[in-house]
Chains A and B, each alone.
Chain A
């Protein structure tokens, strides 16, 4: 099979999962009306498949900051920070992220994906080991692969399993990086951080926590799981993304280890890419202020999450273990998930469809993402529609 035939085989496999005319992946969105509504084809749909957790995509403060940055500095930086220099905004945002997490330093990356790629591949290399949760995001897997370190998985959120694998490493724990996530993107559950920290300290490893989905969502000021659990000082490196609660694009890593700064000189995903545009940096800085002061938004978000989770649970759907902004209905077969996803779209509700092997344990998911801007009526409509469709699947 030649290179192009391999792609044809992949296309055929994808087609066999999805009937003709169903474009569940990369669906065209024609117009965006607000943080909760858009047009798909000729339908005005409710957006329950975005990661806009605080509903800030149209925050006037962020839009204004982006406009001003474009007027002042242009549309793009046209190169990497290493070769073309760091703008004031890049350095300011790094300082603001470090301060937000009470850390000594921070690095901004061009995407959240690159934040994990760049941090992991900068911290570990051939001969080192990374111990990762089995349900880790692809950016974590890819960062580990790029690093050349040995990759060992432990069963998702299973601390007995994690300890067993740490023990087996013997002396290699000295050069082992443990990686977990604040909220896991598939089922919306949280890492057992207190237990992970206990093991990390017992085995004297380094711990990286990805707060991509938990930033803005957990903790009084929205730091994430580190704040909710009071374990900020126990985590060595924190990564995250701007593309969820902060409503732009980019990523970061913060740490109290001064060695973080060295990543700027060895991490290819940091070095060999264009730096974030002035507008992106400006809107992110404005959003970070709103996020850190956004306890009312978080209160509203959690009220919304509880409303939808409770209604789906009462209907009988099998859900992830923790209520939160990621609420996944777990289904046995891709056909069931596809049917539910399609019917929801016919009822003008857009959610995410996740099929194996992307979904854990060979299951299929219909994943809802709740945000603070959703109204009680919108959530009730989504809950009622899920209930109506329950017997169909």
Chain B
């Protein structure tokens, strides 16, 4: 997968997270989705379903255990997409 695909993933995540939160926090790759954006678990799980559909991949929700920041989520999606 190319760098531009990674950027596409990151952009999509930032856009979607922005629409899911009422927070004024500027969303960057280092933003913590739980502590800074207060994204609850169900919103996060629904976001994962959207990402699966956008990139036609399967993302196991148990892979989210160690995911805190937007960059970590983008890395995970990128890794799964690259392997598919």
Give chain B nearest CB distance to A145 CB in angstroms.
6
In chain B, positions 42-76 with a C-beta closer than 8 Å to chain A are: 42-43, 45-46, 48-49, 52-53, 56-63
Supplied contacts A165-B58, A356-B42, 5 more A-B pairs, CB within 8 Å: A134-B49, A151-B62, A165-B52, A357-B41, A357-B42
Rank and list the top 4 A-B pairs by shortest CB-CB distance, nearest first: A150-B60, A357-B42, A357-B40, A151-B61
Q: Which residues of the other chain, B, contact A151 by a CB distance below 8 angstroms?
A: 60-62
Bound-complex Cα distance A77 to B52 (A): 48
A356 touches B45 (CB 8 A): no
Q: A165-B52, A168-B52 are in contact. Are A356 and B58 (CB under 8 A)?
A: no
Q: Tell me the interface secondary structure of chain B in the complex.
A: helix
Bound-complex Cα distance A129 to B63 (A): 12
Closest to B42 in A: A357
A169 within 8 A of B: yes
**A/B interface sample: 28 pairs, CB < 8 A:** A129-B58, A134-B45, A134-B46, A134-B49, A144-B62, A145-B62, A149-B62, A151-B60, A151-B61, A152-B58, A152-B60, A152-B61, A153-B45, A153-B49, A153-B61, A155-B49, A164-B53, A165-B52, A168-B52, A168-B56, A168-B58, A169-B58, A356-B40, A357-B40, A357-B41, A357-B42, A360-B42, A362-B43
Bound-complex Cα distance A356 to B44 (A): 13
A residues sitting closer than 8 Å to B (CB atoms) are 129, 134, 144-145, 148-153, 155, 164-165, 168-169, 356-357, 360, 362
Q: Which residues of the other chain, B, contact A145 by a CB distance below 8 angstroms?
A: 62
Q: Which residues of the other chain, B, contact A168 by a CB distance below 8 angstroms?
A: 52, 56-58
Tell me which of A144, A152, A169, A356 has the highest count of chain B C-beta atoms within 10 A of its own C-beta: A152
Q: Which residues of the other chain, A, contact B53 by a CB distance below 8 angstroms?
A: 164
Q: Which residues of the other chain, A, contact B48 by a CB distance below 8 angstroms?
A: 153
Bound-complex Cα distance A337 to B14 (A): 32
Q: Which residues of the other chain, B, contact A152 by a CB distance below 8 angstroms?
A: 52, 58-61
Bound-complex Cα distance A149 to B60 (A): 9
Q: Which residues of the other chain, A, contact B60 by a CB distance below 8 angstroms?
A: 129, 150-152
Give chain B nearest CB distance to A203 CB in angstroms.
14
Bound-complex Cα distance A222 to B60 (A): 35
Closest to B65 in A: A145
Q: Which residues of the other chain, A, contact B49 by a CB distance below 8 angstroms?
A: 134, 153, 155
Q: Which residues of the other chain, B, contact A357 by a CB distance below 8 angstroms?
A: 40-43
A150 touches B45 (CB 8 A): no
Give chain B nearest CB distance to A271 CB in angstroms.
23
Q: Which residues of the other chain, B, contact A148 by a CB distance below 8 angstroms?
A: 62
Give chain A nearest CB distance to B76 CB in angstroms.
13
Bound-complex Cα distance A165 to B40 (A): 23
Closest to A145 in B: B62
Give chain B nearest CB distance to A393 CB in angstroms.
22
Q: Which residues of the other chain, B, contact A165 by a CB distance below 8 angstroms?
A: 52, 58
Q: Which residues of the other chain, A, contact B62 by a CB distance below 8 angstroms?
A: 144-145, 148-151
Bound-complex Cα distance A272 to B71 (A): 40
Q: Which residues of the other chain, B, contact A149 by a CB distance below 8 angstroms?
A: 62
Closest to A141 in B: B61
Give chain A nearest CB distance to B52 CB in angstroms.
7
Give chain A nearest CB distance to B81 CB in angstroms.
12
Closest to B59 in A: A152
Q: Which residues of the other chain, B, contact A155 by a CB distance below 8 angstroms?
A: 49
Closest to B63 in A: A150
Digit string of B14-55 for contact with A (CB within 8 Å is 1, else 0)? 000000000000000000000000001111011011001100
Give chain A nearest CB distance to B82 CB in angstroms.
15
Bound-complex Cα distance A164 to B50 (A): 12
B58 touches A150 (CB 8 A): yes
Q: Which residues of the other chain, A, contact B45 by a CB distance below 8 angstroms?
A: 134, 153
Q: Which residues of the other chain, A, contact B46 by a CB distance below 8 angstroms?
A: 134
Give chain B nearest CB distance to A302 CB in angstroms.
31
Q: Which residues of the other chain, A, contact B57 by a CB distance below 8 angstroms?
A: 168
B42 touches A362 (CB 8 A): yes
Bound-complex Cα distance A152 to B42 (A): 14
Bound-complex Cα distance A152 to B49 (A): 9
